[in-house]
Amino acid sequence: MLTGGAGFLGSFVAKKLKSRGCKHVFIPKEQEFNLVEGPEIKRAFKVSSPDIVIHLAAKVGGIGANRANPGKFFYDNLMMGVQLMEEARLAGVEKFVAIGTICAYPKFAPVPFREETLWDGYPEGTNAPYGLAKKMLLVQSQAYRQQYGFNSVFLLPVNLYGPGDNFNPESSHVIPALIKKCVEAVKKGESEIAVWGSGSATREFLYVEDCAEAIILAAEKYNLSEPVNIGAGFEISIKDLTTLIAGLTGFNGRLVWDTSKPDGQPRRMLDTSRAEKEFGFKAGTGFEEGLKRTIEWYKCSLP
């Protein structure tokens, strides 16, 4: 069972599962199964009888969406994860792969973020409800392994980007939001674009296909309680990111920084050594190459 299998990351995971020879991949579509509701989750297990569950489904968004929907993001993500893992345990599932989020880390975690520092402080306020709801899956995973011998693993992917990303300005993350702004500005001949924050915050980004590969490798090879970072192991400031995207999209105008808007977490970069050591994952797509593919995909998707 691949929850969120029709989504951005999920579609890449589904393709990779099939290319690995996995013939039966059940994707509970949102229109057919509301995975926030317990009875719907029971029904999904009944119709699919999975051996392995990879739980990708999540209610997500950028800083704006998190600030507007803290209660919904907390409740929906918590109820989905907790009930899915419990039903998986009751159904005798062999393995549960839970996908967490970098938003679970403390706001001022030392950079690069190491898995051992996950509990050393409160997450950044704008996305703490989402981050904490996802973090509870780690608590549940470890508790279930201890009490029931249930094999579940917990992965912490960094911010993703790539073809098929969410470009809706109401809920998109920073890369698609910037690509959309720059492409539209070029099209309309605008001389400037507004960008949230001061530009000083740093982020790490992982190409979506690389993340899908990491998830498959963990499903195949990793069977321990400790959480694992999934990332590319580099950081870039939002200012440098914006300049790079402007250049790649052909936008030569002025960048106006709206400092009334939040920067979010000051710095983000993962220590990715555990993933390489435990199941041989190392990101393979160069950042500029990944951005070019994403921009190309977005331009081709426009009417």
Cβ atoms of 275 and 230 closer than 8 Å: yes
Report d(CA 175, CA 162) in Å as an integer. 9
Q: Where do runs of H (alpha helix) occur along the chain?
A: 8-19, 38-48, 63-68, 70-90, 128-148, 174-188, 208-221, 238-249, 273-279, 287-301
How far apart, in Å, are the Cα atoms of 18 and each of 24, 161, 210, 220? 8, 22, 16, 14
Query: Helices 287-301 and 174-188: crossing angle, nearest 10°?
Result: 60
Report d(CA 169, CA 149) in Å as an integer. 43
Report d(CA 236, CA 210) in Å as an integer. 18
Nearest Cα residue to 273 out of 229, 216, 209: 229
Catalytic residues: 130
